Structure 1
Amino acid sequence: MNYPTAEVLEVKVDTARQLEERLNAAVRNLQLVAAHTRNRGILVTRLDPGHYTVSLSEHVPFGLTREQSR
């Protein structure tokens, strides 16, 4: 089975609908990577309005997704 290799995904949106769809897709992608390594959780960071990163993080326990704003 092939696993996605990106550990940080950038999400840019213009609407609330795009936000939900794109963040969910990014989290699902990284869940596949997290399930393979089983040592990091997922961190969603709001950088600016409509601009986010979704990343694997050692500071988030495996199996969890956390959000933060900068």
Structure 2
Amino acid sequence: MTQLKPTLEVTVSNAAALETELAAAVEAVRQEALAERRCGILITRHGVGKYTVSLSEDVPFGLTWERDAG
């Protein structure tokens, strides 16, 4: 999958923080996606409590996909 900047790393130690932290990261990346208007957002789980949120040309504009790389 092709990824573009920005990529934000999200690390959480409990489930309660996961939704809040991921939502904040997605919103930050969404602003860039709206400016680019050519790619969507990819959330990748790298392991327990470790995620990245990034723009990806492989994700259609307006969509958010999730992937488990862990």
- Normalised to the residue count of structure 2, the TM-score between the two structures is 0.90
- The alignment of Structure 1 onto Structure 2 pairs a total of residues equal to 65
Structure 1 gaps, min length 5: 1-5
Aligned-pair CA distance for 1:38: 0.2
> Which has a greater percent of strand?
2
Q: Distance in 1 between matches of 2:68 and 2:30?
A: 21
RMSD of aligned Cα (Å): 0.8
Q: Distance in 2 between matches of 1:52 and 1:30?
A: 14
- Alignment match, 2:21: 22
Q: Please state whether the residue corresponding to 1:30 is helix, strand or coil.
A: helix
- Normalised to the residue count of structure 1, the TM-score between the two structures is 0.90
Structure 2 gaps, min length 5: none
Residue-by-residue CA offset, 1:12-63 (whole Å, 9 max, x unaligned): 0011111100000000001100000100100000000000000000000000
Q: Percent identity?
A: 51
1:31 aligns with 2:30: yes
Structure scoring higher RCO (CA < 8 A, sep ≥ 6) equals 2
